[in-house]
Amino acid sequence: MSDRDILMISADDVQTLLWGQEQELIEIVRRAYIAHAQGDSALPHSIFLRFPDSERKRIIGLPAFLGSDFGVAGIKWVSSFPDNVDDGRERRPP
């Protein structure tokens, strides 16, 4: 994998990677909160994509940067399709 590749991981991948790491994860989150409290983060407003055929369907983009010794940036995409439930599918696409 090169620096230009995008890595996509599943919920199962996350569970496997994080299993048994609770104390280390708590410490990482603590350090992230400290960096944020010191102003070493950027959390711009979320962006919302709404679909013309339904105001209920949406995709939300949440970009962020965390400095300090983290030096990372990323974006979380949250998709929501509430009508899927009526069709017996998950609210979000798989």
Q: CB 9: neighbour CB atoms within 10 A? A: 9
Q: CB 49: neighbour CB atoms within 10 A? A: 11
pLDDT digits (tens, 9 = 90+) for 17-62: 999 999 999 999 999 999 999 999 999 999 999 999 887 889 999 9
Domain segments of the chain as ranges: 11-86
pTM score: 0.66
Whole-angstrom distance, CA of residue 81 vs CA of residue 60: 12
The CATH superfamily assigned to 11-86 is: ornithine cyclodeaminase, domain 1 (3.30.1780.10)
The pLDDT value recorded for residue 75 is: 93
